[in-house]
């Protein structure tokens, strides 16, 4: 059974940084997509970034140049480095994983993923 545990959320000032982590266990996919989504109350869960098993990455336009997704295969851990934070980045952040063919762009729609962590909250104040 795949298990995802996020950590690293908290509060930051606008312009500051936070690093989210997602420890993954129980998966045996040889090729996969891992990603970060975020959600604010009353809104749909929004795609933030994804990374394929080949290391290819993609980002929503609003975080390009500010956020960096990465993974440490030895530690089975996904990261999201968030720099130049803005108040509109305030949300609950969730990590996700699914099997996916290598070298194919990871999907960015929420319904494509069914395995989620419990989330970690990020608050950015102005």
Q: Which residues face 77 on adjacent strands?
A: 23, 72
The residue assigned the tokens 């996919």 is 29
Rounded to 5 degrees, what are φ and ψ at 112? -75, -10
Residue in the structure block whose two tokens are 């982590």 = 21
Please list the residues that pair with 120 across neighbouring strands.
93
pLDDT tens column, 67-91: 999 999 999 999 999 999 999 999 9
Distance CA 72, CA 38 (A): 21
> What confidence tens digit (pLDDT) does each residue in 9-25 have?
999 999 999 999 999 99
The tokens of 126 are what? 């102005």
State how far the Cα of 104 lies from the Cα of 100, in Å rounded to an integer: 8
Residue 29: predicted pLDDT: 80
**Phi/psi at 118 (5° precision):** -85, -15
Nearest to 22 by CA among 34, 30, 11: 34
For 49-58, how does the pLDDT look when each residue is reduced to its tens digit (9 = 90+)? 999 999 999 9
Mean pLDDT, residues 1-6: 95
């Amino acid at each position: 059974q795949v298990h995802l545990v996020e950590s690293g959320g908290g509060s930051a000032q606008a312009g500051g940084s936070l690093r989210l982590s997602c420890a993954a266990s129980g998966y045996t996919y040889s090729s996969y997509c891992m990603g970060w989504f975020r959600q604010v109350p009353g809104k749909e869960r929004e795609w933030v970034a994804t990374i394929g098993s080949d290391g290819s990455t993609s980002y929503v336009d609003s975080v390009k140049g500010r956020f960096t997704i990465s993974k440490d295969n030895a530690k089975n851990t996904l990261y999201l480095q968030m720099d130049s934070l803005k108040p509109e980045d305030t949300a609950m952040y969730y990590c996700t994983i699914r099997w996916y063919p290598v070298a194919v762009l990871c999907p960015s729609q929420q319904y494509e993923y069914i395995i989620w962590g419990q989330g970690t909250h990020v608050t950015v104040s102005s």
